[in-house]
A and B are shown apart, each in its own frame.
Chain A
Amino acid sequence: MRTLRCLLPLLVLLAACASSGRGLRVAGSTSVQPLAEILAEAYTRSGGGRVSIQGGGSTAGVQAVLHGVAGLGAVSRRLAPEESAQGLVAHTIGYDLLTVVVHPTNPLAAISRARLGRLFSGVAADWRDVGGPPGPVYLVSREAGSGSREAFRSLVGPVSPRALIQSSAGAIRVAVMANPQAIGYVSLPVARMGGLKALAVDGRRPDEPGYPLVRPVSFVTLGPPQGEAAAFLRFVASPAGRELIREEGLVPAGDGP
């Protein structure tokens, strides 16, 4: 009994160490999360330390790095000037393609950026207005503050306040999959999970060069990267890391957007 009493705190301590580990913690953009998980797994397999990935959104990632909760923040938008002023450094790892997705039964295959803007601002509220069959348009968007939403707003235009709001890229995918009249936007890796149709924008498919809806994807650090974070970033920029980024549907940094 006494041994058990002595061992118990030790066991608790051990369990706590095992769960948190000494590894690198990455928090941030939910649309970068699938790629970050693949990179982390490959990094650990190639002999690197443990890396744990958390979502929460771009701004949550920035906050986590600022407060020292995470070593790296995954950010799918440009850093705001006041964020850079606080000592944050963005390391762009690639360019994400913001994919406009509809239900597979939607006859539309392509859309112009101008028409997309009219749909999402709420000016065009019927599919007939953009060359589709008649019926109401159900917009599905991310919440205010999301990196995807900010990128979409700067590339396409304002989002109607009547748009349905889902708080992750995966939830947008589920919502659009369930509704033949819905339209939403997600990053290409999420669109590739299946069940959705990606629209060509301004005549370019998302996998073609010149696709217009492109945004930088970065890992941010507080000051220059050090230790495990620097090693992970080196791996991400290595040929193996760049290949994984390409496989996930992103354009690796250096290949140009």
Chain B
Amino acid sequence: MQSVLQACALAAGAAVLLIAAFVVAEGRPALGAVFGPVWDPEAGAFGVLPMLAGSLAVTAGALALAVPAGIGMALFLTEVAPPALGTAVRPLLQALAGVPSVVYGFVGLTLLVPAIRRGLGGPGFSALAGALVLAVMVLPTIAAVGEDALRALPPTFREGALALGATPWQAVRRVLLPAARSGLVTAVVLGLGRALGETMAVLMVTGNVAAAPRSPLDPVRTLTGNIAMEMGYAVGQHRAALFATGALLLALVMLVNAAARRASR
């Protein structure tokens, strides 16, 4: 039994290492060229910095919306809502997490993009549209993991704080949130990972212009969207540049995970 489980663990680890090695090896010829400011395959320019800016912009925007909302929802479910309401809301959150990303993209394309164009100006296809769609997509992850983190706290924490005369809000802010910090950071990192890696939904609403955005209403192209859109055509240096984009994404996610592990300690 132990050897079977060991083999499973080794297979998972080996798969990750193999993929990473393959991506880096395929991207190596272009690694020198990708840290440039211009992406124009027709002219042989393969700089992915505009897409890096695009990915960071939509991810940061999504987290700015989804982290307060998600942790607020987790607090509501654990501290405020009567148990009956909690059991009603939880399956809805799970359903939200299970919706395929292309559906989110389609809803964003038909509702959000025209609304932004009419209400705020610009082409509608924008970093803002991408951030909003992503925020809805990562919200259930942050809320569910955050709720687990809060629920795992011993009830004596809350009871002790309240017994000492703290108001419920003081108990949440001074006792519960700091005590659950490591779990909440995990929730945010999982959300961040999903936002950074999401491709289809973002591709459909961001307009995919390979230029760094100057305002939230400007169109952007993400690292993932760049790979998805052009992989069908890419040969030679262009293909290597897309693999280098993938390697950059991989490094970015690893960096975020390492930072989170440090922060949660």
Asked whether, in the complex, the Cβ of A165 is within 8 Å of the Cβ of B209, the reply is: yes
Contact of A60 among B114, B125, B210, B233 (CB under 8 A): B233
Q: Does A174 contact B (CB under 8 A)?
A: yes
Chain B residues positioned under 8 Å from A178 (CB to CB): 110, 113-114, 117, 124
Q: Does A163 contact B (CB under 8 A)?
A: yes
Contact of A164 among B207, B230, B233, B235 (CB under 8 A): B207
Which chain A residues numbered 45 to 71 have a C-beta less than 8 Å away from chain B? 56-57, 59-60, 63
Q: Does A129 contact B (CB under 8 A)?
A: no
Q: Does B232 contact A (CB under 8 A)?
A: yes
Q: How many Å lie between the Cα of A166 and that of B235 in the bound state?
A: 20
Interface magnitude class on chain B? 20 to 34
- Looking across the interface, which residue of chain B has its beta carbon closest to that of A149? B42
Asked whether, in the complex, the Cβ of B209 is within 8 Å of the Cβ of A162, the reply is: yes
- Looking across the interface, which residue of chain A has its beta carbon closest to that of B125? A164
Which chain A residues numbered 186 to 219 have a C-beta less than 8 Å away from chain B? none
Q: How many Å lie between the Cα of A70 and that of B86 in the bound state?
A: 52
Asked whether, in the complex, the Cβ of A57 is within 8 Å of the Cβ of B221, the reply is: no
Q: Does B63 contact A (CB under 8 A)?
A: no
Asked whether, in the complex, the Cβ of A143 is within 8 Å of the Cβ of B208, the reply is: yes
Q: Indicate whether A163 sits within 8 Å of B203 (C-beta atoms), given known contacts A56-B232, A178-B124.
A: no
Q: Does B40 contact A (CB under 8 A)?
A: yes
Q: Does A132 contact B (CB under 8 A)?
A: no
Asked whether, in the complex, the Cβ of B233 is within 8 Å of the Cβ of A161, the reply is: no
Q: Does B168 contact A (CB under 8 A)?
A: no
Binary interface profile of B, 185-218, with partner A (CB < 8 Å = 1, else 0)?
A: 0000000000000000001100111110000000
Q: Indicate whether A164 sits within 8 Å of B209 (C-beta atoms), given known contacts A138-B123, A145-B41, A179-B117.
A: yes
Chain A residues positioned under 8 Å from B70 (CB to CB): none
Q: Does A112 contact B (CB under 8 A)?
A: no
Asked whether, in the complex, the Cβ of A165 is within 8 Å of the Cβ of B124, the reply is: no
Chain B residues positioned under 8 Å from A179 (CB to CB): 114, 117, 123-124
Binary interface profile of A, 144-162, with partner B (CB < 8 Å = 1, else 0)?
A: 1110000001000000011
Asked whether, in the complex, the Cβ of B233 is within 8 Å of the Cβ of A146, the reply is: yes
Q: Does A167 contact B (CB under 8 A)?
A: yes
Binary interface profile of A, 107-150, with partner B (CB < 8 Å = 1, else 0)?
A: 00000000000000000000000000000001000011110000
Chain B residues positioned under 8 Å from A138 (CB to CB): 123
Contact of A165 among B113, B208, B234 (CB under 8 A): B208
Q: Does B93 contact A (CB under 8 A)?
A: no
Q: Does A175 contact B (CB under 8 A)?
A: yes
Chain B proximity of A24: nearest CB distance (Å): 20
Q: Does B219 contact A (CB under 8 A)?
A: yes
- Looking across the interface, which residue of chain B has its beta carbon closest to that of A166? B208
Q: Indicate whether A60 sits within 8 Å of B207 (C-beta atoms), given known contacts A144-B42, A178-B124.
A: no
Q: How many Å lie between the Cα of A57 and that of B232 in the bound state?
A: 7
Chain A proximity of B39: nearest CB distance (Å): 8
Asked whether, in the complex, the Cβ of A161 is within 8 Å of the Cβ of B210, the reply is: yes
- Looking across the interface, which residue of chain A has its beta carbon closest to that of B234? A145
Q: How many Å lie between the Cα of A144 and that of B40 in the bound state?
A: 8
Q: Does B109 contact A (CB under 8 A)?
A: yes
Asked whether, in the complex, the Cβ of B229 is within 8 Å of the Cβ of A161, the reply is: no
Chain B proximity of A234: nearest CB distance (Å): 29
Chain B proximity of A136: nearest CB distance (Å): 8
Chain B residues positioned under 8 Å from A161 (CB to CB): 40, 209-211
Contact of A143 among B117, B204, B230 (CB under 8 A): B230
Contact of A145 among B114, B204, B232 (CB under 8 A): B232
- Looking across the interface, which residue of chain B has its beta carbon closest to that of A55? B232
Chain A proximity of B40: nearest CB distance (Å): 7
Q: How many Å lie between the Cα of A138 and that of B113 in the bound state?
A: 14
Chain A residues positioned under 8 Å from B210 (CB to CB): 161, 165
Chain B residues positioned under 8 Å from A145 (CB to CB): 41, 230, 232-234, 238
Q: How many Å lie between the Cα of A219 and that of B207 in the bound state?
A: 31
Chain A proximity of B187: nearest CB distance (Å): 33
Chain A residues positioned under 8 Å from B232 (CB to CB): 56-57, 59-60, 63, 145
Contact of B229 among A165, A174, A182 (CB under 8 A): A165
Asked whether, in the complex, the Cβ of B230 is within 8 Å of the Cβ of A144, the reply is: yes
Q: How many Å lie between the Cα of A144 and that of B231 in the bound state?
A: 10
Chain A residues positioned under 8 Å from B221 (CB to CB): 165
Chain A proximity of B76: nearest CB distance (Å): 36
Asked whether, in the complex, the Cβ of B229 is within 8 Å of the Cβ of A167, the reply is: yes
- Looking across the interface, which residue of chain A has its beta carbon closest to that of B210? A161
Q: Rank and list the top 5 A-B pairs by shortest CB-CB distance, nearest first.
A: A145-B233, A60-B232, A165-B208, A59-B233, A164-B207
| 5 intermolecular pairs with C-beta atoms under 8 Å apart | A145-B41, A145-B230, A145-B234, A164-B207, A178-B117
